[in-house]
Amino acid sequence: MPKPTGERRDPVSCIPMLGRTLLLSILAVGLLLLLLVSALTTFGTPQPVVINGTAAPPLPTLNPAAVAEGERLYAHYCASCHGANLEGAPDWKVRLPDGSFPPPPQDSSGHTWHHADSLLLTVIREGGDPAENLRMPAFGDRLSDDEIRAILTFFKSRWGEEERTFQWWITVTSGE
């Protein structure tokens, strides 16, 4: 049997050393670019909010006009009790001598962000239940639902990312 003429050669080893290094560099740079582009598009695209395995659409951006309108209304109707800076009363969790609660904060340190929009709208429209000694006044005769929504939008603009995300999720998923 005659020996096969010519050696079989590994195709890669055909590429001269310099060419191979260049090829590997191009591949590495290409891979890095691909990773960078996919990372950028992931961060740039709004992601769904998933809490306890239940998904809500991505967090919407707030309308700046509504935030400004809400801030104006808040200063006029709410700040005297809930504080010029949404800080509420210092011991808002402790009942007063008459058995009622002092006004809570409306910022991230308060409780408002635990509730869905629909429930907050009802509380502000109808006030706290006097039978339970809750002293939040009713505003349904002075503020339209749109105005109350603007105040809520203002609150949202002041909440931290975590509080706002949770409140968005509960609003969408509770169906309240």
C-beta of residue 158 within 8 angstroms of C-beta of residue 86: yes
C-beta of residue 92 within 8 angstroms of C-beta of residue 104: yes
Residue 156: burial class (beta carbons within 10 Å; 0-12, 13-18, 19+) = buried
Residue 100 beta carbon to ligand HEC: minimum distance, rounded to whole angstroms: 6
101 contacts ligand HEC (rule: CB under 6 A)? yes
Stretch that binds ligand HEC, among 2-10, 26-34, 53-61, 107-115 (CB under 6 A): 107-115
The contact pattern for ligand HEC, residues 26-65, with x = CB under 6 A and - = no contact, is ----------------------------------------
Distance CA 37, CA 75 (A): 45
Among 66, 69, 104, 150, binds ligand HEC (CB under 6 A): 104
| Nearest residue to ligand HEC, by Cβ distance, number only | 128
Residue 89: burial class (beta carbons within 10 Å; 0-12, 13-18, 19+) = middle
Site for ligand HEC in 130-159 (CB under 6 A): 134-137, 139, 151
C-beta of residue 73 within 8 angstroms of C-beta of residue 151: yes
Residues that bind ligand HEC (CB under 6 A): 77-78, 80-82, 101, 103-104, 110-112, 115, 120, 123-124, 128, 134-137, 139, 151
